[in-house]
Amino acid sequence: MNKSELAKAVAEKCDTTPKQAVAIIDAAFDVIADTMKSKDSVTLAGFGTFATKDRAAREGINPATKEKIQIPAKTVAVFKPAKPLKEL
């Protein structure tokens, strides 16, 4: 399912237009992204938690040259599904 299909499905469930559904979906994604940028998490009961996790720097190997390289530390986005979602 892509974004337009999601918007169409949301519009049908909420008795609204697909254009309004796209605006609502975009706003929700923006709020989630902004919250994660500030290193907070977003928990949706029955669905899951969107959060960030710090990854430590580590040494890796370039598969083409077999040369050792340093992979820098970074922050990554993670999603942990809630139990009801896992059970589906």
Q: Give the span between the Cα atoms of 34 and 22, in whole angstroms.
A: 18
Q: Could you say which architecture CATH assigns to the domain 40-88? A: Irregular (4.10)
Output phi, psi for 59, to 5 deg: -100, 135
pLDDT digits (tens, 9 = 90+) for 8-58: 999 999 999 999 999 999 999 999 999 999 999 999 999 999 999 999 999
Answer for the pair 24, 11: CB distance below 8 angstroms, yes or no: no
Q: Domain coordinates of the chain in residue numbers?
A: 1-38, 40-88
85 confidence band (pLDDT: 50, 70, 90): very high
